[in-house]
Structure 1
Amino acid sequence: MKDLHIQSNQFELPQQFETLNKLCQCFKDQEFFVIGATARDMLSIALGIDLSTRTTRDLDISIAVESWDSFMKVQELLINSGFEKDSIRKQRFYYKYFELDVVPFGKLSEDGAKIFWPPEASPEMTVRGFESVLKECVNVKVDDADIEFKIPTTAGLFVTKLDAWIDRGLEKDNDMDDMMYLVDNFYLPNCTEPVYTEVFEAVEDSDMFISGAYMLAMDASLLLSDEEKAYYKDKIETELTKQEASLLIQKSMKSSKKDYDTVYRAWELFVKRLVK
């Protein structure tokens, strides 16, 4: 899926559409990417599946910049275009009281993995995989208006959510909820030949949840560098060795409402296919 056409009335909140419209006007000469729950909902619309029950009340975007000085210019552009800067959260802005989080990535990151907001080097945020993920995006056009932007593919969004969960898994369940939603809904809309044959051979009982995890790994393996795949492999396998004590497994079971064996097998096959 390379292109997605949606209608403005398909947005959960009018403020989402209004804020995106303003961002498109603001960033006419600079690409930005919608991430987070809004991207999740747009992918759901594209795949024709039910929207997640976890609703969103904000908008998250990511933008590639050369340096923190470049990001300060982005910030000035937003403020001059009518966005209000949050006095505490460095990534947060408001447009008519609607929350907007802007996450920079690119050459300002440490080895392409983390960003440290100046001047205190805080907060620290993971942007690992962003450059790889966002090379392969879905172009979104709203109505017939001049509103066009990009979102990650389903596997790309899964990777950004996995990164976020590794960073803050103890703090909240939102990222795991979204990952499990993607796993649970990915198989049927995407299972065509020759994909079906490989999945059928790998997943002995043809469980759709496990098959969804396997297929996400197939797509993610095409996006990520060998170094990035090795990083996720290490993180996931470390959790799998903990078995029932694994926070990854426990949170996955809670979010997916699946049993231990199903969740364990899904992650086991995910990492196995990711580095194949």
Structure 2
Amino acid sequence: MIDFSASSAHEFGPLCTVLRSVADFTPGPGERIMLVGASARDLIHQGLGFDAELASTTDIDIAIAVPDRSAYQSLVTDLEPEGDTRIRFRIDNRSVDLIPFGGIEHPTGTAIPHPDGHTVDVFAFQEVFDGADLYRLPEGIEVRVPTAAGYAALKIKAWVDMGALGWTKHARDLSYVCMWYQNSPSLHDSLYDYEKDADLFERADFDQDLASTYLLGRHIRTAIGDDLANQLATLWDPDSRKLMASAERSDRFLSTPKARDYDTRLQYFNAIHAGLSTVPGRGDGD
């Protein structure tokens, strides 16, 4: 468990307030909900020991495990809808997406929370949830948060779906994950374990930053399983990776020449893809 319970609630902005409200209408909330989106990103960032402020957002995204559509409808029936997404509600004067996954998925990876047939993509949500870390926040609030690799998997899928429409935040957020892997010993230490991931150093021509991105891809594959990893690798094709590398380079936290350089970013994204595509010990992916 990652423990922020000794922190002041105000350090987490409106998040604790919203989570308390969600707990009021969600049985066993700590066991059924997972933060995704920017709130998850910020907690992962802090949990890894980084304190620089990331790009801000006012939205809060919460994935909620439900057995079927009627269960989801019963949870949200008294909430004020916002916009036309069918999953966004006004909670404590904040825009909150409540994203259903689990038994409601049909087929797997797609939820249909409303009778009108509107679909919600929840690719790999169950797998990311199963491997998520538990965070303890102030006032006894507990919530699941994706691992860095699980978060990266969701971001790549979001980019595949939305990147061509100009949603550059997903490119920026994946660059944050690269930075985490390149700078957090807790994530990249296995590169020095000759029985585990040290082969990636040779693959990266002994460039630690590049080896760390190969490792991220390998961890994504472990997080979501071989079948979903193969699907994601196919969807995240070369054109998609090139577009991603050219997007969102103005973020001040990614202001170093290396982080802003197109060729370097593309090299990192290609390395993630290679690690994601490859079963360890069976050679390179595409």
Asked if TM exceeds 0.5, the reply is yes
Counterpart amino acid of residue 106 in structure 2: E
Counterpart amino acid of residue 226 in structure 2: D
What's the offset of the Cα at 1:57? 0.8
Counterpart amino acid of residue 21 in structure 1: R
Counterpart amino acid of residue 112 in structure 1: T
Aligned to 2:175: 180
Aligned to 1:166: 160
Tell me, yes or no, if the aligned pair for 2:249 and 2:260 is still in contact at 8 Å: yes
Residue 223 of structure 1 aligns to a residue in which SS?
A: helix
Residue 251 of structure 1 aligns to a residue in which SS?
A: coil
Q: Equivalents in 2 of 1:42, 1:19: separation in Å?
A: 15
Aligned to 2:225: 225
TM-score with structure 2 setting the length: 0.81
What's the offset of the Cα at 1:196? 6.5
Over aligned residue pairs, what C-alpha RMSD do you find? 2.5
What's the offset of the Cα at 1:133? 1.2
1:9 equivalent to 2:8? Answer: yes
Counterpart amino acid of residue 110 in structure 1: H
TM-score with structure 1 setting the length: 0.84
Q: Deviations over 1:7-31 (max 9, x none)?
A: 4537655322211122234324241
Tell me, yes or no, if the aligned pair for 2:159 and 2:171 is still in contact at 8 Å: yes
Aligned to 1:41: 42
Tell me, yes or no, if the aligned pair for 1:253 and 1:263 is still in contact at 8 Å: no
Tell me, yes or no, if the aligned pair for 1:58 and 1:98 is still in contact at 8 Å: yes
Distance 1:10 1:203, change over 3 A: farther
Aligned to 1:268: 270
Q: Equivalents in 2 of 1:52, 1:204: separation in Å?
A: 32
What's the offset of the Cα at 1:184? 1.8
Q: Equivalents in 2 of 1:214, 1:16: separation in Å?
A: 33
Tell me, yes or no, if the aligned pair for 1:24 and 1:148 is still in contact at 8 Å: no
Give the paired residue count.
262
Q: Equivalents in 1 of 2:55, 2:272: separation in Å?
A: 24
Q: Provide the identity percentage.
A: 21
Tell me, yes or no, if the aligned pair for 2:197 and 2:215 is still in contact at 8 Å: no
Distance 1:34 1:146, change over 3 A: same
Distance 1:224 1:11, change over 3 A: farther
Q: Equivalents in 1 of 2:83, 2:239: separation in Å?
A: 37
Aligned to 1:102: 98
Q: Equivalents in 2 of 1:268, 1:168: separation in Å?
A: 19
Q: Equivalents in 1 of 2:166, 2:114: separation in Å?
A: 23
Aligned to 2:62: 61
Superposition pairs of residues 208-247 of structure 1, within 5 angstroms:
208=209, 210-239=210-239, 246-247=242-243
Q: Deviations over 1:119-160 (max 9, x none)?
A: 3323x33211111111111101113x3311111101001111
Counterpart amino acid of residue 110 in structure 2: K
Choose which of 115, 126, 131 in structure 1 pairs with 2:126: 131
What's the offset of the Cα at 1:96? 2.4
Distance 1:231 1:9, change over 3 A: same
Residue 236 of structure 2 aligns to a residue in which SS?
A: helix
Counterpart amino acid of residue 135 in structure 2: V
What's the offset of the Cα at 1:5? 1.0
